[in-house]
Amino acid sequence: MQGNLGKRRNLIGLMAVMTIPFICSAILLISQKTRFNGLSIVCSEWNDELFYYKQVEAMVDFGHPLGYWGYNEGHSLYGNFAAWNPVNYIIYAITGKLFGWGYITPVIVNLVIWTVTFGLIHIFLKPRAKQWIGIIAAFLALSINIRYIFSCTPESTAAAGLIILCIMIVKYDETGKIGFFVAANLLLMYLVAMRGYYAAFVLIMMAVIIKKKKWLLLVLQTIIILLDLIIFVLLCKYFAATYFLDTFHFDNLKSPRAFAGAVRWGMTETAGFMKEALKGGSMRGTWYIVFFILCICELIVFLRKRNLVNLSVIIVSGGILMAMWSVYNAQEGARNLMACETALIIMTVYYMDSLFLGVATAVITGIVCWSSHDVFYTALPKTDPAIISAVENSDLKSVMPLSDNVWDNTVVWPLYTQFNGLYAIPSGFGINCVRDEYVFDNYDELRSKYIVAEQGSDMDAFISKKNAYHVSNVGKLNIYALR
Q: What is the CATH number of the domain that holds 468?
A: 3.40.190
Q: SS in 3 state form for the chain?
A: CHHHHHHHHHHHHHHHHCCHHHHHHHHHHHHCCCCHHHECHHHCCCHHHHHHHHHHHHHHHHCCCCCCCEECCCCCCCCCCCCCCHHHHHHHHHHHHHHCCCCCHHHHHHHHHHHHHHHHHHHHHCCCHHHHHHHHHHHHHCHHHHHHHHCCCCHHHHHHHHHHHHHHHHHHHHHCCHHHHHHHHHHHHHHHHHCHHHHHHHHHHHHHHHHHCCHHHHHHHHHHHHHHHHHHHHHHHHHCCCCCCCCCCHHHHCCHHHHHHHHHHHHHHHHHHHHHHCCCCCHHHHHHHHHHHHHHHHHHHHHHHCCHHHHHHHHHHHHHHHHHHHCCCHHHHHHHHHHHHHHHHHHHHHHHCCHHHHHHHHHHHHHHHHCCCCHHHHCCCECCHHHHHHHHCCCCCCCCCCCCCHHHHEEEEECCCCCHHHHHCCCCCEEEEECHHHHHHHHHHCCCCEEEEECCCHHHHHHHCCCCEEEEEECCEEEEECC
Listed residues 378, 410, 430: the one ending a domain: 378
Per-residue pLDDT averaged across 143-162, rounded? Answer: 97
Minimum mean pLDDT range among 28-42, 236-250, 268-282: 236-250
**Residue 238 maps to a domain:** yes
**Structural domain span for residue 445:** 385-481
270 and 338 assigned to the same domain: yes
Total count of domains within the chain: 2
Where a domain ends, among 359, 378, 397?
378
Domain final position from 378, 406, 425? 378
Does a structural domain hold residue 38? Answer: no
Q: Are residues 122 and 151 in the same domain?
A: yes
Do 177 and 204 fall into the same domain? Answer: yes
The pLDDT score that the predictor gives to residue 375 is 95
Q: Are residues 249 and 294 in the same domain?
A: yes
Q: Does a structural domain hold residue 393?
A: yes
Would 95 be classed as within a structural domain?
no
- Determine the average pLDDT of the residues in 220-227: 98
Q: Confidence class of residue 340 from pLDDT cuts 50, 70 and 90?
A: very high
131 with 182, same domain: the answer is yes
- Split at pLDDT 50, 70, 90, the class of 1 is low
Q: Provide the pLDDT confidence category of residue 333 given band limits of 50, 70 and 90.
A: confident
Q: What is the model's pLDDT at position 247?
A: 65
**Are residues 425 and 367 part of one domain?**
no
One domain, residues 371 and 389: no
Same domain for 258 and 281, yes or no, is yes
- Residue 456 has what pLDDT? 93
pLDDT at residue number 335: 87
pLDDT score, position 3: 65
